[in-house]
Amino acid sequence: RRNFLLGGGALIAFGGAYVLAANSGKLKVDLSKRTALKMPPLLDTTNSGKLNLTAQSGKTAFFENMVSDTIGFNQSYLGPTIRMKNGALQAQVNNELRNPVTVHWHGLLVPGEHDGGPHIPVNSGESWMPQMQINQQPATAFYHTHIHGRTASDVYAGLGGIIHVSDNRDEDRAIPSEYGVDDLTMVIQDRRFTSRGQLSYDLSMMDAMHGFTADTILVNGQVNAVASVPKGIVRLRLINGSNARIYTLSADDDRSLHLIATDGGYLNKPRSIDTLRLSPGERAELLVDFGNGNTMTMISAGDPNTGPGGMMGRVRGMIDNVVDRSFVVMPFVVDDRLPVRFTAVPDQINGDEPDLENQEVAVRQFSLDMNTGSGGMMGGGMMGGGMMSNMGINGQSFEMSRMDLKVKLGTVEKWIVSTSMLAHPFHIHGVAFQVLRENSGQPKPESIGWKDTVVVDSVTEMLVKFEMPASQDNPFMYHCHILEHEDRGMMGQFTVS
């Protein structure tokens, strides 16, 4: 048992399908077949003010004795966790791959020219050197490639990583911040593997429609991980790095989860929750109390879009009640040898929660369309071709050369986003927004605070604050973060000036 607690064990091979075994009551987890969760390497820029990322190809052993071709930043799959603070940051992005990549800083409030969206490709053998200025609350953000038509396949193959914006004051807030000890970063992804352990991305018609979901859960690129935690308060930074799967996370023993931060950073005070819905691109931070020494398994209910029942697998308006197929995300075991630094969840965090009501100068409507009517071969070439209609927003599929909106810098707008089929995670670049109403009710806890991505399952109203400029040449995007939908055109672009 020491072995899995201390790590260093080899990855154990498993077939894929068991992960989503049907559930009634508690899911069984065999800890002896799991290996210690590893954190991505830490790339700390807080002293140097510099950061270097190289997109490269490599081989990754997701299963023992089997390697898969993958891509990553500075390593074979995913990338380092970048710690940064407010102030100047000189980034350099290199591309050693054959195809163009970008690095989009999802969740950083930087101007369009530094955003790393589809208009800022880094071609093979070239570099991009944005001189950035970081200025925002502490937060957990997400960087990933964003080439239109290839985002889904390239992120799937590994081109993503995590950012911690830190102000070094978590000690005063009584919030754990020891990387990999009591402050765990967890990139949650679902992946499909061949029997030879190769990552596979074969889009069926259904996958192209719903977005690609798969049967094997990875945390930080690891299959069958287990996390060892101290016998006290542990902070979990959760990032949904999946292409399409929406998780509804909970503890298997029904202990409370304390939500302390959403996309843009800390809440004013922790919210105690039983379930956390996390869609692709969203981040949430939880405090979990392991003071009783008990093992906890984080589980997820089935995906609202692809679970059985209802239109396209979803029961409209009952998104929280679809608990048809639960599965294990990752177990946590308490290791008494790890240092306990906090034993209670603080009452206050004093994060800055938005209050933008009645400041809006414009109202805009967006409808997310599964079919814009403009049928034809799909762009990008990575999705197997075939005759499939384009997706879009307000009846129009994304066009690199068409500007969809012009927004005035320094203003607040109300955006009303709706869907008639499926739940879509709606994301906006270069802004933070306040969710005002979800399906005409109060926002769910995971939708409070400063957000940049939110699940729209019927109608979501948000107040968006535009504080970063974006020009015609380097506009910001708004899109569905189901990457297959984004690549098929459920995206638009705007300037801010």
Interface residue list for Cu ion (CB under 5 A): 106, 424, 429, 480, 482, 485
- Rounded to the nearest whole angstrom, what is the least distance from the CB of residue 156 to ligand C2O in the complex? 14
Q: Of 11 and 152, which CB lies nearer to ligand C2O in the complex structure?
A: 152
Cβ partners under 8 Å of residue 375, min gap 6? 387, 388, 389, 390
Residue nearest to ligand C2O (CB): 106
Identify what 479 binds: Cu ion, ligand C2O, none; CB under 5 to 8 Å per kind: ligand C2O
Q: Of 263 and 369, which CB lies nearer to ligand C2O in the complex structure?
A: 263
Tokens 């809006």 found at: 360
Q: Of 35 and 242, which CB lies nearer to ligand C2O in the complex structure?
A: 242
* Residue 69 burial (10 A CB sphere; 0-12, 13-18, 19+): middle
- Rounded to the nearest whole angstrom, what is the least distance from the CB of residue 219 to ligand C2O in the complex? 19
Identify what 485 binds: ligand C2O, Cu ion, none; CB under 5 to 8 Å per kind: Cu ion
Identify what 146 binds: Cu ion, ligand C2O, none; CB under 5 to 8 Å per kind: ligand C2O
- Rounded to the nearest whole angstrom, what is the least distance from the CB of residue 252 to ligand C2O in the complex? 30
Identify what 424 binds: ligand C2O, Cu ion, none; CB under 5 to 8 Å per kind: Cu ion
Identify what 77 binds: ligand C2O, Cu ion, none; CB under 5 to 8 Å per kind: none
Cβ partners under 8 Å of residue 82, min gap 6? 43, 45, 51, 143, 161, 162, 163, 164
Identify what 482 binds: Cu ion, ligand C2O, none; CB under 5 to 8 Å per kind: Cu ion
- Rounded to the nearest whole angstrom, what is the least distance from the CB of residue 263 to ligand C2O in the complex? 10
Q: Of 296 and 417, which CB lies nearer to ligand C2O in the complex structure?
A: 417
- Rounded to the nearest whole angstrom, what is the least distance from the CB of residue 279 to Cu ion in the complex? 10
Q: Of 281 and 307, which CB lies nearer to ligand C2O in the complex structure?
A: 281
Residues that bind ligand C2O (CB under 6 A): 104, 106, 142, 144, 146, 281, 427, 429, 477, 479, 481
